[in-house]
Each structure stands twice: as structure tokens, then as C-alpha cells.
Amino acid sequence: MDTPDELFYTPDHEWLRAEDGTATVGITDFAQDALGDVVYVQLPTLGTTVAKGDTLGEVESTKSVSEIYAPVSGEVVAVNGDLGNAPQRVNEDPYGEGWFCAIAPSAPGEMDSLLNAEKYRALTAT
């Protein structure tokens, strides 16, 4: 699966889609592939305030448990409740139906420190 050019990325393999004043967050195709079959996703609580780098939740797979980190600071304004019944969506569609949550950024300038698609591809190629 391609790494979408319109997204931002973290070195910890989260992606961020900025649109309409919110930042939708998920994990990359690279991350879901490394995890294997996702069997459970712990999402943040709606209304939670997070700082960049805080733990947003966890992804449990048949191989391991991994934390999800906030790529930006702000308030959690949406969560993908569908993942409770269908955690496999993270594997099937990591950049679409497999999203985790949306954050209303409190410090939009933090996105400047994220990786663009080209830099993320270079990171994962090594």
C-alpha cells in the first residue's frame, strides 16, 4: 500500500490528516503490517486533552501490544467506535476506515515537526 502524500507522519508510525480544523490520527500501513492481525484497539475517551507524545491508546495484535501516541496536542473530538467490533479495519484500511481518533489541535505549529510522505518513506526504507 502506498504512503499517501497528503498525510503527515511520526517516527513512531502514526499518521495525521489535517482537515477542517481537526487532525485525524491512525497508524501507518508499515505499522499495521509489522503488528500482524489486529485483534483489539483501545481508543482515547472523547473530550480528553492530550499533549504531543502522550499515549492515546493501544493496539493489540496476535504478535504484541503497541501504544499509539498523539502526533499533536489538543482535545480528542471524535473516536472511531467501529473499531471495537471490527479491529481488523486497522489492517484492511489503515488510512481510511482504520482511523483511531480526531484531535482539535491546540498548537497547530506542532505539525511542522512531523514528517512528510517522502521523509516517512525514507525512514521506513532503512
C-alpha 9/C-alpha 28 separation (Å) is 8
Smallest CA-to-CA distance from 100 within 55, 63, 62 is with 55
Give the DSSP letter string of 12-72: TSEEEEEETTEEEEEE-HHHHHHH-SEEEEEPPPTT-EE-TT-EEEEEEESS-EEEEE-SS
The domains of the chain are located at: 8-99
pLDDT digits (tens, 9 = 90+) for 1-40: 678 999 999 999 999 999 999 999 999 999 999 999 999 9
pTM: 0.93
| Portion of the chain with pLDDT greater than 70, in percent | 99
Architecture of domain 8-99: Beta Barrel (2.40)
C-alpha 68/C-alpha 57 separation (Å) is 5
